[in-house]
Each structure stands twice: as structure tokens, then as C-alpha cells.
Amino acid sequence: MRCYRHEQAPSAEAPLVIGFDIDDTITAHPAFFAVVSQALRGAGHRVVIITMRVDAGQAAADLAAFGVVYDELHCFDLDQRGDYWGWKGRLCASLGVEDFFDDSPDILARMPATTLPFLAVHRPRHDLSLLSEADEEEIEGVIGAGLGRS
Ligand SMILES: [Mg+2]
């Protein structure tokens, strides 16, 4: 199992750079992303919005209506359509985005190793049972050990 660990504690000299998709991510729970984006920016971190939308004016208006704040907004450039699935990953690499939240496994699968992908899960579109790592025997062993029944 891959374990991710940020290499250093965030600080004023090394603020976090966190990225968010808009549709089916921010729009899935705008109030949550409003609070998170405001808290991140309030603590000196950077918030980057990366969306497949092409209308930057409408995207900015929607984010303002949601209360989502950010440092940068990047909308899809149709000239990049030859690399539709890889565009966000390349942008995350160039911007130094450490954590990126999106609803598309196809986009998150193309994130660079320097970006931790977070998937906004929508049922039944995403079937989490396909990702299950549950090992019932291992779980029973851990519980048993905790109860002194090793
Ligand atoms: Mg989306």
C-alpha cells in the first residue's frame, strides 16, 4: 500500500499549493469548498482552481457565488484538446500543486508523482468496491490482538 507523506510541515516560507476542480467537485458541496478554500488562503496557503470549463468569466462568477476563494483560476484551453486527460496533471506539475481534488479518475490517474490525487466519489458512477482493500482475516487479527486474543 502506498503511503503519502508531505515532506515538510507547511510554513509561511513554504505554503501548501492545493488544487480543486469545479464541476462535480466544488459543485458537489460548494459550502465545504468555500470553508476549505477560505481557511487555506487565510492561513497563507495557495488555492488553484483547474477546470475543463472554457468560460473563465462564468467560472469566476460561479466560484464567487459559492464563496470559493483562490489565487489562480485555470480554464481549459481548446488548443490543448489533444491532451485532454493529461492537461490538469501537467498543469499541477508546473504549478507545484501538492494535492488535487477532482471527480475524474481518468484525470487523477494522470497526476504527476508530486501531486496527491483526491477523488470526489459519486455513486453509482464510481464503484468503490473495485478499489476495496479490505482483508477480513487481517481485520479480525488486528481486533483480536487489541482484545488480547492474538
Ligand atoms: Mg469535474
**Domain CATH code at residue 60:** 3.40.50.1000
By the CB criterion, residues less than 5 angstroms from ion ligand 1 are: 21, 23-24, 103
Given this model, what pLDDT does residue 136 score? 81
**Residue 58 Cα to ligand 1 middle (Å):** 15
**Strands, E assignment, the chain:** 17-20, 46-51, 72-75, 99-102, 116-119
Q: Specify the pLDDT at position 127.
A: 92
* Residue 50 within any structural domain of the chain: yes
State the total domains in the chain: 1
- Give the pLDDT score at 62: 98
Taking the chain (150 residues) in consecutive chunks of 10 residues, what is each chunk's mean pLDDT? 54 87 98 98 97 97 98 94 93 98 97 98 91 84 78
Among residues 116, 27, 120, the alpha carbon closest in space to that of 67 is found at 27
User: Residue 105 falls within a domain, yes or no?
Assistant: yes
Please check whether residue 47 lies inside any domain of the structure: yes
Gap from CA of 34 to ligand 1 centroid (Å): 16
Q: Is residue 2 part of a domain?
A: no
Residue 94 lies in a domain: yes
Domain range for 40 is 17-125
Domain contains 23? yes
The span from the CA of 90 to the CA of 1, in Å, is 25
Closest residue by Cα to residue 50 from 15, 94, 20, 7 = 20
Q: How far is the CA of 141 from the centre of ligand 1 (A)?
A: 39
Sign of CA dihedral 29, 20, 121, 115: negative
For residue 108, report the distance from its CA to the centre of ligand 1, in Å.
Answer: 11
- Let me know if residue 11 belongs to a domain: no
Give pLDDT, residue 9.
64
